[in-house]
Structure 1
């Protein structure tokens, strides 16, 4: 079974991967799992309390298909967990690796954005990470998928969902309908 693991941290932005995980679990019948630092429960920016399935340290790259980093303010602080080895391992094993909003910072710190097209909340959000991918930055309001790396600004949870599903080979007319359904409010009236 296709398995997605989403990394959540204290204060995570609960709206950023909600559609993705709901669509994965309910519509596509994929396995959705959640990991946190130390396996501790976390509370989102909106007050949602989550009891994770596992600790970040327990993630088995061989048993998953996608590793996703949910955004939150922690990624721009010294308290951010270091995911470098985990993200590099997932990418090296040809797994989908994604980051949305400030979760993209973790991918930049791991060096995963140095040679692929990507986006983020803005190019100014990445330089303090040792980031070397400025030539590949795309100023886009939508998610960017390149070589199984998915990045998106925090305002793009719908296209992030679509790009992750596409990276997993799930791009169909059904997905296009689903994306249109959730993006309808952004179309001109």
Structure 2
């Protein structure tokens, strides 16, 4: 079973996590007999945080509680507070994740936090458009590895722009292998186009127990 650690911090951009956390937590479209995943919110302390949308989140655990293994995944959402030094500990933990082959998934402002620590200098990645990381992260040296797409996967690193949450979620779900391939494609097509035919195609891919 995979353990998904979702880092939460003040001004967290709620919508960027919405697709991936709701699907992984609910398991509503998972393959039949898949063991599922364990989803935990984590922060630098266990004090409540307030999201950009005004939601209050109480972390399940702190950074020291994280177990790093190849079945661990770290999700780093966007926020306006990434430049606070207290978040450096989770970026160092992200470095540890990457070094052992565990997955790190960063979106929007979290990509700038990775860039500040040199974690994007030598591997393909994306962010909020060309020039954004240079503007936010003066020490960034990964320009030659930048790919101007909504979400980019490079082995065990997935980065996304603020508008790439759906594709980011798809790539994370694909890595976990919790959906059948036709389920994942129909899910992505439905939410990216809104066309009813993709919803019905999605329903046809599911075992009967998932349709109730």
With the length of structure 1 as denominator, give the TM-score of the two structures: 0.88
> Which residue is 1:81 aligned to?
87
Whether the 8 Å CA contact 1:145–1:167 is kept in 2: the answer is no
> Which residue is 2:164 aligned to?
156
User: How much does 1:80 deviate?
Assistant: 5.5
Q: 1:100 and 2:107 equivalent?
A: yes
SS in structure 1 of the partner of residue 131 of structure 2: helix
RMSD: 2.0
1:116-160 CA-partner distances (Å, limit 9, x unpaired) = 2111012333232522211010111x2110111100011111101
Whether the 8 Å CA contact 1:4–1:32 is kept in 2: the answer is yes
Report how many aligned residue pairs link the two structures.
Answer: 184
Counterpart selection for 2:155 from 144, 147, 165: 147
Distance 1:15 1:93, change over 3 A: same
Partner Cα separation in structure 2 for residue 58 and residue 80 of structure 1:
16
> Which residue is 1:10 aligned to?
10
With the length of structure 2 as denominator, give the TM-score of the two structures: 0.79
Partner Cα separation in structure 1 for residue 70 and residue 55 of structure 2:
27
Distance 1:111 1:79, change over 3 A: closer
> Which residue is 1:40 aligned to?
47
> Which residue is 2:210 aligned to?
none
Counterpart selection for 2:78 from 55, 66, 71: 71
Partner Cα separation in structure 2 for residue 170 and residue 110 of structure 1:
31
User: How much does 1:26 deviate?
Assistant: 1.2
Instruction: Indicate the larger mover: 30-39 or 86-95.
Output: 30-39
User: How much does 1:169 deviate?
Assistant: 3.7
Partner Cα separation in structure 1 for residue 16 and residue 187 of structure 2:
16
Whether the 8 Å CA contact 1:116–1:147 is kept in 2: the answer is no
Whether the 8 Å CA contact 1:84–1:106 is kept in 2: the answer is yes
Structure number, greater radius of gyration: 2
> Which residue is 1:134 aligned to?
143
Gaps in structure 1 of 5+ consecutive residues: none
Counterpart selection for 1:31 from 21, 38, 53: 38
